[in-house]
Structure 1
């Protein structure tokens, strides 16, 4: 097996989205800062209601998938298909926009900490116009395990050998074979995990200190991993928490205009016409 090393680092930059939700955007802050098939990664974290209370009112998507993973807080999802789900601490919502979705995500709290991530995952051309779909994964459905060293994993998607067992995440039917893991490393502990060589991968450290091999990971940054088939992590003296995310790359042209991600400018223009004429979600 070959250890993956750091290929590039995309620091999180202060930004806002929706109706003024404050966040840090790493992947996707510029359209040349992507990691195929990942288009965008936002990290929202605040205990000030003014930073999140306005939420993400109704808006469209086409051509990709949105993944919302809540660490702390409560947010309600509604979409044009009639889906409704309360996203609680530890839960996840994986939405395939496909041909088109109009949805909203609105906070269900007026005070306290709201913290989590939203990841955008591209779809290949053959799947961009498929029917929309929605998976609501309750916190209790996320597969959780711990080893003797005190390291804990929460597996949202994919298959992961860990501590002598193979864990299977609850998200199903995603073509890019994603791996989405929330890792909590014990103080000073080491952990090795396999990551298939044909997947593009990144790590996002959001608590504590950790190193990949001999290289320190930057806090609140998407660290793109190089070639290899495993990651070797070591936590700092107070432990660490991070996301490990991987998926099969697509290798196709990407043309993005706001919430629409297609392969050509003509397809973007069609998406805009469809939305304007009320045909986006036909």
Structure 2
């Protein structure tokens, strides 16, 4: 685990058409966490969304925690993913898509952009819809953990990434091994998980590098995500929806 993890708070802002996000990065003071380009916790009411727009040069995972999200793109895909599921696209040389809530509930989730190594940026675009039942769910003595990306998950990216959604319903702790060569973070979605003697408020994160085993404690219900990835060690050049 990193000896001195860094504590950051997401920035509230509006995006798309009526969407509200808590953006951990890129913002002033924290541009990127190689290989990760963007992390948004989003809240989109019915009638809002992200109208048709282009992307290239990265992969994106939109993980739903509540509600449902509809994805449509220029590859002919048109799908709806419910809470607990994910929408994944490889932008590669270029994709055009839109996202909007499906149904009457607010769509709430996490969108994560992962940079593609230069040798992969010209790959053809692709899309995958993953239902909640396809993602491994492990029951813990004090809650549960869903593996979004990792062993047992059907999501395979062009970068080495690990991604878990952890819900602790009572006092307890959670342990997670993180590869030594990964850069990672823990982001608090609800409640106040504690790690490395740091109590995270909702919407805050700890960045971790050179990790071995993370232990997260809680004395009350909380929810957080743990992500890590192997850095590409290449410049991340982001121009709005493009990562070149």
Q: What's the TM-score, normalizing by structure 2?
A: 0.94
Aligned counterpart, 1:23:
21
Deviations 1:139-183 (A, max 9, x none): 111110113x22311001113xxxxxxxx22212x1212111001
2:106 to 103, 107, 113: 113
| Counterparts of residues 186-197 of structure 1 (less than 5 Å) | 186-197=169-180
User: Whole-Å Cα distance in 2 between the matches of residues 15 and 5 of structure 1?
Assistant: 31
- Residue 142 of structure 2 corresponds to residue 150 of structure 1: yes
Aligned counterpart, 2:129:
136
User: Whole-Å Cα distance in 1 between the matches of residues 106 and 3 of structure 2?
Assistant: 34
Aligned counterpart, 1:275:
none
State the 1:4 CA deviation.
4.1
User: Whole-Å Cα distance in 2 between the matches of residues 9 and 38 of structure 1?
Assistant: 17
- Residue 40 of structure 2 corresponds to residue 42 of structure 1: yes
State the 1:216 CA deviation.
1.2
Residues 1:6 and 1:108: Cα distance change in structure 2 (over 3 Å): farther
Is contact 2:10–2:24 with CA below 8 Å preserved after alignment?
yes
Which contiguous aligned blocks of 4+ residues in structure 1 show a shift greater than 6 angstroms? Answer: none
- Residue 176 of structure 2 corresponds to residue 183 of structure 1: no
User: Whole-Å Cα distance in 2 between the matches of residues 254 and 20 of structure 1?
Assistant: 28
| Counterparts of residues 37-186 of structure 1 (less than 5 Å) | 37-45=35-43, 49=45, 53-109=47-103, 111-147=104-140, 149-159=141-151, 168-172=152-156, 174-186=157-169
User: Whole-Å Cα distance in 2 between the matches of residues 251 and 61 of structure 1?
Assistant: 22
State the 1:106 CA deviation.
1.6
Higher helix proportion (structure 1 or 2): 1
C-alpha RMSD over aligned residues: 1.7
Higher strand proportion (structure 1 or 2): 2
Deviations 1:204-237 (A, max 9, x none): 111112111322123212321132211011012x
State the 1:114 CA deviation.
2.3
User: Whole-Å Cα distance in 2 between the matches of residues 66 and 256 of structure 1?
Assistant: 14
Residues 1:14 and 1:143: Cα distance change in structure 2 (over 3 Å): same
State the 1:34 CA deviation.
1.2
State the 1:75 CA deviation.
1.4
Residues 1:192 and 1:234: Cα distance change in structure 2 (over 3 Å): same
User: Whole-Å Cα distance in 2 between the matches of residues 235 and 179 of structure 1?
Assistant: 22
Which consecutive unaligned segments of at least 5 residues does structure 2 have? none
- Residue 236 of structure 2 corresponds to residue 254 of structure 1: yes
User: Whole-Å Cα distance in 2 between the matches of residues 188 and 124 of structure 1?
Assistant: 41
